[in-house]
């Protein structure tokens, strides 16, 4: 990862996903936002080991909405169990 991304600027850190949900993803943090933009522009669609990279900017707002959605689904499931409500068609 470092060899590919370091060509576009100084890297602060690289975090590779290890859990089931984040497997196959990584976060590359650059020292300068302009270096990050250059990496996104040049590396999107880059072929590495017969797989294509999808390089995006991290968006905190979208990630938090995703987690809130999951939380709401869990709350609904708990309420359905508490009040014995079935969602299956009869």
pLDDT at 89 over 70: no
Report percent pLDDT > 70 for the chain: 83
| pLDDT averaged over every residue in the chain | 84
Could you give all domains of the chain from N- to C-terminal order, each with its CATH number? 2-82 (3.30.70.330)
SS3 string of the chain?
A: CHHHHHHHCCEEEEEECCCCCCCCCEEEEECCHHHHHHHHHHHCCCEECCEECCCCCCCHHHHHHHHHHHHHHHHHHHHHHHCCCCCCCC
State if pTM tops 0.85. no
């Amino acid at each position: 990862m470092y060899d590919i991304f370091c060509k576009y600027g100084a890297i602060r850190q690289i975090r590779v996903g290890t859990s089931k949900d984040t497997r196959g993803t990584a976060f590359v943090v650059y020292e300068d936002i302009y270096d990050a933009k250059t990496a996104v522009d040049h590396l999107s669609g880059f072929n590495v080991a017969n797989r294509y990279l999808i390089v995006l900017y991290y968006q905190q707002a979208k990630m938090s909405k995703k987690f809130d959605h999951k939380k709401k689904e869990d709350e609904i499931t708990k309420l359905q169990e508490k009040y014995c409500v079935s969602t299956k068609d009869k």
